Structure 1
Amino acid sequence: MTDNSNSSNGSRWTGMVPVEDTALAVTDTGGSGVAVVYLNGQFATQGYWRHVTADLGTTWRHITYDERARGRKSRRSADYSFEAAVRDVDAVLAARGVDRAIVVGWSYGAFVAAHWASRNPERAVGAIMVDGAQPYDWLTDDTEAGIRKSFRRMNLFMPLLRPTGLTPRMNAEEMANSNIELGKLARVRELGPVLDRITVPARYVVASGESFGSQGGHEQIRTSLPAVAERNPNIRISAKVPSNHGAILRKDFRAVAEAVREIAALDHSEH
């Protein structure tokens, strides 16, 4: 593990955390506050969380990281599966010596947060899913074919952006497979039982606008959430905000930060 700052006194730490056949770029603000680990969108980076962490301030311990082959530094891997993403949460927390944490995930990261919280009730203070982890059968044969076609087209220019960290160091097939796997995980019969098993406080922050090219799909997918909350009293929709899926962490970060505060307050009241 490479260390670029002194973490022994609880100060900020940045470095690489070795995991299986790869290594992840991690930032840990340190300190004795409630630990919050942030889980990125499918091909996004830890920088997307800067507005949320700034709103919460320095009394919290913020842990962000770039997933395998994402960002500028996280290294490539032979395994970009969803299960690898869930394992990486454990690896990062173990490397940073964190026993319990609030998990906050946006989009793909919301699925990771939901799965991790459902499997680790003794370690999850709570979970916040930001416009993701909504059960809906959106993947069809035609959709899958369209995903593969889109990523093949994008592969023409993505290598030019990789040095900036704006696109992952994954090839078109790897990215398409990841997206298709997410569609399978989102199916009602797959995701519904995961959400039903969550026994810690969980909150959804939901966008309301449509993203470019979504053709009304996001709002249709969001209609599944009231039934989720009705079945499981631990789950609530804490806010529905005006921004769309892509802009929510930039424009409605205060709603995400408020959900973090709510979860932490519930944990404090129980202790």
Structure 2
Amino acid sequence: MQNSKSIDEKIPKWSGLISVEDTQLFVTDTGGYGQAIIYLNGSYANQGHWKRVVEELGSNYRHVLFDERARGKSKKSHDYSFNACIRDLSTIIKARQIEKPILVGWSYGAILAVHWVHSNPNIASGIVAIDSAVPYGLTGDAAKERIYRLFNKIKLVLPIASFFGLAARMSAKKHAEINIEINEISANLEPVLLEIRIPVRYVLANGASRGGEEQEFNAMRESLNPLLIKNQNLKVSAKVASNHENILSKDFLAIAKTISVLAMETNLELKL
């Protein structure tokens, strides 16, 4: 059922900082009457990457976007863990009084979406997972060394990249630690995905991207296939030509269509 507040009462447009623990998160809420959609960013990205998706969907939806800790316009913190991101999402949903949202996650954000739903059932109405939230990750000592080496190599450009929403305002070591943690969480994602009881719709990219070889990305996407049989709530809605990195800018039409179709599937009022 659609958010009752979005039917009876227009939510005012709002943007600003929401306090959580030792930091503040920058949130944009377009308000309106429509189905609430919460966008969950990639590991180091800011909310600006969703611009084309939001514009394509338009004002029929309530779009809620935020920058994670030390990303975009949000403040720094002493805790950049995955569990901190889980708590951040809970805080924003409560602070903005969001009911039955669709969670749309890209990369890190898709894993965050399924884990949050697993820990907080009966709140979200559906998930759109963009080229992620599959049971695959680079783990072990060799993978850790590779990740540390990668971020150490680009440490001088990270402060510049952060201005473009491509990096966080933290050390190269912290960047690496976030990447190592999310790979380990993703590698062990199968039990979480098998217990999801709301619709999860995947939009999968193609080919390689920075930080991985093509065969690794192919293996990552193929790891989802057995779970599509085991849990009928998981479905692939689209496979697109763009890669993991540029999927939001190049295939925003496919993403927007997946969101709108899911909203119709999960929202009785939209069908009437």
Q: What is the aligned residue count?
A: 261
Structure 1 residues 165 and 267: alpha-carbon distance in aligned structure 2, compared to 1, 3 A threshold: closer
- Paired residue for 1:172? 172
- Paired residue for 1:3? none
- Paired residue for 1:46? 47
- Paired residue for 1:114? 114
- Paired residue for 2:217? 218
| 1:49, distance to aligned residue in structure 2 (A) | 0.5
| 1:161, distance to aligned residue in structure 2 (A) | 4.3
Percent of aligned positions that are identical:
43
User: SS of the counterpart of 1:208?
Assistant: coil
Question: Which deviates more from structure 2 when the two are superposed, residues 149-158 or residues 54-63?
Answer: 149-158
Would you say the 8 A contact 1:129–1:203 is kept in 2?
yes
Cα RMSD (Å): 1.8
Distance in structure 1 (CA, Å) of the matches to 2:17 and 2:55: 23
Question: Which deviates more from structure 2 when the two are superposed, residues 254-263 or residues 99-108?
Answer: 254-263
The answer to whether 1:192 aligns with 2:193 is: no
- Paired residue for 2:6? none
| 1:165, distance to aligned residue in structure 2 (A) | 4.7
The answer to whether 1:155 aligns with 2:187 is: no
Distance in structure 2 (CA, Å) of the matches to 1:32 and 1:112: 26
Would you say the 8 A contact 1:39–1:104 is kept in 2?
yes
Distance in structure 1 (CA, Å) of the matches to 2:165 and 2:211: 23
Distance in structure 1 (CA, Å) of the matches to 2:153 and 2:124: 40
Structure 1 residues 37 and 137: alpha-carbon distance in aligned structure 2, compared to 1, 3 A threshold: closer
Would you say the 8 A contact 1:103–1:117 is kept in 2?
no
Distance in structure 1 (CA, Å) of the matches to 2:237 and 2:160: 40
Would you say the 8 A contact 2:44–2:165 is kept in 1?
no
Distance in structure 2 (CA, Å) of the matches to 1:230 and 1:146: 33
**1:256-271 map, 5 Å:** 256-269=255-268
| 1:167, distance to aligned residue in structure 2 (A) | 2.5
Would you say the 8 A contact 2:29–2:62 is kept in 1?
yes
| 1:173, distance to aligned residue in structure 2 (A) | 1.6
| 1:93, distance to aligned residue in structure 2 (A) | 1.2
| 1:208, distance to aligned residue in structure 2 (A) | 1.4
Deviation track 1:163-199 (CA, whole Å, cap 9, x = no partner) reads 5554211112211111000111111xx2000101110
Would you say the 8 A contact 1:125–1:263 is kept in 2?
no
Deviation track 1:138-160 (CA, whole Å, cap 9, x = no partner) reads 22311110111221222223234
- Paired residue for 2:242? 243
Q: Which amino acid counterpart does residue 105 of structure 1 have in structure 2?
A: G
- Paired residue for 2:206? 208
TM-score, normalised to structure 2's length?
Answer: 0.91
Distance in structure 2 (CA, Å) of the matches to 1:209 and 1:238: 18
The unaligned stretches of length 5 or more in structure 2 are 1-8
TM-score, normalised to structure 1's length?
Answer: 0.91
Distance in structure 2 (CA, Å) of the matches to 1:54 and 1:76: 29
Would you say the 8 A contact 1:17–1:23 is kept in 2?
yes
Structure 1 residues 166 and 184: alpha-carbon distance in aligned structure 2, compared to 1, 3 A threshold: closer
Distance in structure 2 (CA, Å) of the matches to 1:237 and 1:260: 12
- Paired residue for 1:68? 69
| 1:136, distance to aligned residue in structure 2 (A) | 1.6
The answer to whether 1:14 aligns with 2:6 is: no
Q: Which amino acid counterpart does residue 109 of structure 2 have in structure 1?
A: G
Q: Which amino acid counterpart does residue 202 of structure 1 have in structure 2?
A: V
Distance in structure 1 (CA, Å) of the matches to 2:77 and 2:25: 10
User: SS of the counterpart of 1:237?
Assistant: strand
Structure 1 residues 67 and 125: alpha-carbon distance in aligned structure 2, compared to 1, 3 A threshold: same
- Paired residue for 1:5? none
- Paired residue for 2:5? none
| 1:213, distance to aligned residue in structure 2 (A) | 5.1
Distance in structure 1 (CA, Å) of the matches to 2:160 and 2:123: 40
Would you say the 8 A contact 1:100–1:124 is kept in 2?
yes
